[in-house]
Structure formats: C-alpha cells, structure tokens
Homo-oligomer: A and B are copies of this chain.
Amino acid sequence: MDKKVNILFITADQLRYDSLGITGHPLVRTPNLDALAESGALFSNTFVQSAVCGPSRAAMYTGRYTHNNGVRFNEVPFRPGERTIADYFNDHQYRAALVGRTHFTPITEKYGFEYFAYYDGLPVKDAYSAYPEYLKSNGYSEEDIRYRYWPRELEVIPGQEAYPEDFREAYYPSRIAEEHSDTAYLTNEAIRFIRETGDRPWMLHLSYWKPHLPFSVPEPYHSMYDPKDVPMPRLMPDELKSKPPLQKLFREERRGNFLEDERLLRQIRAVYYGMITQLDDHMGRLLEELKQLGIRDNTLIIFTSDHGEYMGDHYMVEKELFYEQAIHVPLMVSLPGRIKPGTVTESFVETVDLLPTCMEAAGLPIPQAVDGRSLFPLLDGTAASWRQEVFAEWDFQYYHARRQLGLNPDQCKAVMVRNKRWKYVHYSDQPCELYDLENDSDEFNNLADDPQNRSLVHELQLKILDWRLRTEDKSPEVDLTFASYLRDPWST
C-alpha cells in the first residue's frame, strides 16, 4: 500500500489576494509562494465564508458554513458537537497538529489536535503560548516581551498596551529581531513537529499571524520597500453616499480617519509588504526542509489566508464587510504527481472546500455534514457541475455600530451572494448593497436602490434564501427502526 499523504495546511492572516507576485502585485516579492503555486494549482477566485478571523477559520476547520458551525464572530464558541479537521484526521490515525493561531474560544481547548503549539499574536493570550518563554530564553526582557509590538522609540499608552492604536509602530522596526520573530518561531515549530513525527502520517495546520497588524516587522523587512514606491488605494471621496449607514459607522470603527495622513498610509503599506516577503522567506525555508526530509512529493500543501486587508481601500484598514479586498484570498494547492504543475483555475472556490480537499487527498471519506466540495474533481475535470456563485456571512452585533443604529443583537446579520458579475449583500434590517463588478470593480456605486435592478435584486435575495434552506445543518439520521412508514429515505 502507498504511503499516506501528509497534509500541510498553511494560513496567513489578513493577506489579501492581490499582494503576491503570482497574483500580480507590481512590487511585493514572493518567489517561494510563486513557485509553490506553479508547482500545482492557483485558484484565482477563492472567497472566505466570513471576512473575520475566527469565523473564517471555523469554516475551514469544519468544512461548514458559519450558520452551521456557529462561530459567527471571534471568541464565539463552536456549536456543540462540531467536529474539526483534527477530529476527522485523528479518526484515521493521522497525527494532527496546530502551530500558531486559532482565534477560537474557549482558549483552553485543543480542538482535537494532539500537538498544539499555540500562538495567537496578542499579548493577552501569552499565558497559553510557549513563545514568550522562547523570547525570554533568547535574552529579551519582560518589558520587551510585554510591549513587543511597541517600538522602543515610543512611549506605551495606557489602555493600548498591546500595540499603538494610531499605527505609529509602522515607522520603526520591531524590537524583536527577525530570527526571533513570531513568523520565524512558528516556522521553526512546524519543522520541529514534522521532524519529530517521522514516518507517521501527519496533518499540520500552520497558522501564521502575519501579515496581520500591528505594522511591526524587524529589519531587513522594515526597510525593504520604499514608501515612495507603494501603489496607493483607489478612492472615491463621496463613496458613502450610496452605502448603508452602517458603513460610515464601521469606517470609524476601522479607524479610517488615520488614513488621511498620506505619509502614514504609505508607511503602513510598505510594512505590510515587508511582512509578506518575510513570510515568503520562511515558506522557502519550510519547503526546503520538506525536500531535505524526502517527503515533499508525498505532502499536500495548501496555502491561503483567513481574509484580506483593506490597506486604505474604502478608507479602512483590516477587514469585515464584503468588499473584494476583504473576502478574496489567494489559494494555492500543490501535490506533485497528483496536481498538474502550472494549473490555474478561475472557478469559484469557497473556503469550506479546503477540508474535503484535504480529505480526498488523504483518502478519508467526506461526511455528509461537510458543506464544501473537494477541489480534485475540479482539477481533474471530472466535476459534472460547479457552483456559479459564492456566499459569505457576517454578524456585526458585537460592534458599537449596532447600538448607534438602534438595532437589537438579532438584527445584525448580513449575507453576501457573489456571482461573476454581481455582488449583493443582504442585511435583515438595513439598506442592502448591489455592485456591478464588471463595470465597477472598485465597488464604489451601490446600485441596490436603482428601480432598474429590482428583479435582479429579487433574484439574488432568492438565491440567498434557497442557499440557506439547502445548506441548513443536515441531520440525515432517521431512526428507521421506528419509522417504518418511510420508504428508503436517503437512498438516491
């Protein structure tokens, strides 16, 4: 029997689609990720299920939509009984590992992982990680560790101990040296896990925190890109005119005001790109290690991100809402001998597809509870049909904007449907959004109120309703012992 395929599932955090060499960025150098994509398949239309950390990862871990797995915001627990990628691979004698961030709660759970090298980025979670101890053993002081995202040059502001809220960290290199950075550390941990696991098949989620803010990166990456050279966002000053009131409030929440300072915005973008090249360098180191260990050809590698980063677009930083900058992510999948090098596919991928793809590569059965579809039939050309639209969800009840709008917590759900040309965002108790992606790829003009689009909007609303009904949690188990009046349920 053939050796079982190892699964190396890598996520960046807050990496937007257009930030890599292979996805067309004019400045950022990512030779290792480019080579990884060229060794297998690049999926150019991959969308996350929710453009915020915890929900996006929960959809990847369960292969289930947000309304099914229950993680509708950061620090919201899974619905009882949810199974993760680790649980599924455990069933088949894989050694399942997490290295890095989950952003799930309760933080004390290991979500099925046997090997659990947790690091979530924020100092508030340091007690659950070995990284602070690692820094200490490398000579960093308590203060360096606690304020590691504050440059030495700035005075820590009370209430903002984690990092400066005004992005000024971007002007200075990190006080943690490159070789001790969290990106380096997590790569080391991944290599340690792979080496120590030896011949047993393994499934590793390597979950980086970068290029997430704070905009703190060590040299040489801090000075790698000249702020003068960075491309600037395309903006439309009166964009909000056609948008729901929520967007104005959320822009404030997202500190859009800081971005009026062009010098700061250029600096942030340069540092963001530096963090990406830093990540790429460590990717190179990791891939080389797999080669050295002789297991590269027997390892499925998936690389993606949990969501994008506005980087000043729409006058925001970070993520959420449903603009392309937030929901569109890079995805590359490589498995030598199985996936043809240089494959590029434009078909719509949802990130619930990643778990079943890992399962098919490893020969695991795909349970009915999984909402996504394996990407292999798409790559093999054996998929009889494929989705023509993608969906995403968001719940803004936890934000200040909710009360500013006078809404109850249950009135804050939003769902997006996006096909090749149109993107429609439905809010249960807010004005909605419609963008013509073909003629307004910047999504500046909300066309939802245009009477000409009435039947189109209706059609897209129905798509959402029928998607919800179809994908609502599947409870296939009928106890037929006591239901003799049912004839052959579930046989097809």
Q: Which residues of A contact B (CB under 8 A)?
A: 67, 70-77, 79-81, 105-107, 120, 122, 124-125, 162, 397-400, 403, 408-411, 413, 415, 426, 428-429, 458, 461-462, 464-466, 468-484, 486-492
Contact = CB atoms under 8 A, between A and B. Distances in A.
A429 B81 contact: no
Contacts of A106: 479
Contacts of A72: 475
B492 A408 contact: yes
A343 to B, nearest CB: 29
Nearest to A408: B492
Contacts of A472: 67, 413
B70 A473 contact: yes
15 contacts: A70-B473, A70-B475, A72-B475, A120-B482, A398-B486, A398-B489, A399-B487, A403-B492, A409-B490, A410-B470, A410-B474, A413-B470, A413-B472, A426-B469, A428-B466
B410 A482 contact: no
A484 B124 contact: yes
Contact of A81 (B73, B81, B470, B480): B81
Copies in the complex: 2
Nearest to A490: B409
A107 B480 CA distance: 12
> Chain A interface mostly helix, strand, loop or mixed?
loop
Contact of A79 (B81, B122, B400): B81
Contact of A426 (B413, B465, B478): B465
A467 to B, nearest CB: 8
Contacts of A75: 478-480, 482-483
Contact of A105 (B473, B482, B486): B482
Closest 10 A-B residue pairs measured CB to CB? A80-B81, A80-B80, A428-B469, A105-B479, A413-B469, A75-B479, A398-B489, A428-B466, A75-B483, A465-B465
Contact of A461 (B162, B462, B492): B462
B77 A482 contact: no
Given A67-B472, A428-B470, A483-B74, A398 B458 contact: no
Nearest to A318: B485
A398 B488 CA distance: 8
B475 A107 contact: no
Given A473-B70, A482-B125, A492-B408, A429 B466 contact: yes
Contacts of A81: 79-81
Contact of A476 (B409, B477, B481): B409
A400 B464 contact: no
Contacts of A464: 465
Contact of A107 (B397, B478, B482, B491): B482
Given A81-B80, A125-B482, A489-B398, A465 B461 contact: yes
